[in-house]
Each structure stands twice: as C-alpha cells, then as structure tokens.
Amino acid sequence: MTSAPIRTSNVRFAGLGGTGVIKASDIFADVAFREGHTVKKAEVHGMSQRGGSVQSDVRFGSEVHSPMIPDGACDFLVVLEPTQLEVFRGGLRSGGTLLVPADIDTARLPSAKALNVAMLGRLSRHFDFPESAWRASLRANFPEKLHSANDTAFTLGRNP
C-alpha cells in the first residue's frame, strides 16, 4: 500500500470502447471524491468511439488543474484489453504501475463483462481508501441485479 498522496495522482484507464473503461474510471473517481479529494476526470466518449481505442484519465489530490494527464505522467495505467497495451504503455511514468488483465484469474470472473470491476479490485490494493468505499461506489454505479457479481469480481481482484 502507498501512503496518502500529497501531490496529484494520475490514474489512466484504457481499452476498447464498450468494454467498461469509462465505468471503471467513474467508480474510481467516485471513491477518491467521496474520500475527500479534489478529483478531475477526462475522457472522450460517445458512440463514435465504439469499438475503438478509448482512455479515461482520473487525477486527484488536494488541487488538480488540467483534467488530462500530461505525457508520460501516469502513476497507474489500467489496461482492460491486452491488444491496447502497446497503444497506451507510453503514458506510464518511469516507476509507474501497470495493471493488465493477466493480473486477474479471468476464469473465475462471474462474467467477462466484470473484468473492469476485478481490475478495480486489483487497483484498490495500491490505495488507502477503505474497502467499504469501493464496494459502496460499485453499488451506486450499477443496477442491483449486478451487485452480487460485482462483489465477487472485486474480491477476485483485491484478494485473489
């Protein structure tokens, strides 16, 4: 676990349109925000991105200026689609943390669509936010019928 950030933390979610990139970044931003940070989040979304490469940037700290992470300044890069790794790898700062689907035992996912939630579980290990905050945000961001599957997926990423 890292200690609470004193500067702007930069987390980028990346993958293909329609695979849960935006949703994962929404939840992460929600957790950081509810925990008292100033949060900014930037992405280009819409149907026009469907099936294509997408990224969503979340920046948080006591003060955040641009919502977009500068070149090569990602502290964390969460890639939800293996084919997109090379497209986005350059965004990671030296010493930054890369999270990829291979980090998850995907065979144990309740559904393939829940990969983004499992990746959030994996990401959660690197922050001091309480586990209950992550789970509350997951519930706030998904319809009730998905809560149980999401809890399983999150646990798979957080405590494999």
Partner 1 sequence: MLQPSQDKSGRLLLSGNEAVALSALHCGVALGTGYPGTPSTEILESFRTLGGKAQWAPNEKVAAEVALGAAFAKARVLCTMKHVGLNVAADVLFTMTYSGVDGGYVLVVADDPGLASSQNEQDSRRYAEAAVAPMFEPADSQDAYDLLQVAFATSERWHIPVLFRMTTRVCHSKSPVKPRFAPGAKLTTAETGAPTADFVRNIVDRVMVPGHAKPAHRRLRAKMAELEWWNISAGPNQVEKRSPALGIVTAGICYHHAREAAPEASMLKLSLSYPLPMETIRAFAASVQRCVIIEENDPWLATACLAAGLTIEAKDDAIFRFGELNVDRVRRILDKDSSPEPVPPRGKPPELCNGCPHATSFEVLKELDCIVSGDIGCYTLAALPPLSAMDMMIDMGAAIGMGLGLRHVLPRDQAKRVVSVIGDSTFLHGGLPGLVEMAYNPPQTGHVLLILDNGTTAMTGQQEHPGTGRQLDGAGTHRVCYEDMARAAGVKNVFTINPVRERALLKGVLADSLHKDELTVIIARSPCILAAGRIAAWAKEQKAKAATTETACTCECGDEDKS
The residue from 2, 4, 7, 70 that contacts partner 1 (CB under 8 A) is 70
41 near partner 1 (CB under 8 A): yes
44 near partner 1 (CB under 8 A): yes
33 near partner 1 (CB under 8 A): yes
The residue from 2, 4, 50, 131 that contacts partner 1 (CB under 8 A) is 50
Residue entry with tokens 């992460």: 28
Distance CA 89, CA 79 (A): 9
Residue 119-158 contact track with partner 1, rule CB under 8 A, x = bound = ------------------x--xxxx---------------
83 near partner 1 (CB under 8 A): yes
Give the torsion sign (CA, 86, 87, 90, 96).
Answer: negative
Q: Which is nearer to partner 1, 68 or 98 (CB)?
A: 68
Q: Which is nearer to partner 1, 6 or 47 (CB)?
A: 47
Please give the sequence-ordered ranges of beta strands (E in DSSP) within 7-115, or none if there are none.
Answer: 9-16, 38-43, 53-61, 74-79, 92-99
Q: Which is nearer to partner 1, 123 or 156 (CB)?
A: 123
Closest CA to 34 of 147, 141, 119, 114: 141
* Strand (E) or helix (H) holding 114: none
- At 69, the amino acid letter reads I
29 near partner 1 (CB under 8 A): yes
Distance CA 136, CA 142 (A): 10
Residue entry with tokens 């349109």: 17
Residues in contact with partner 1 by the rule CB under 8 A: 16-17, 26, 29-30, 33-34, 36, 38-53, 64-68, 70-71, 83-84, 86-88, 90, 137, 140-143
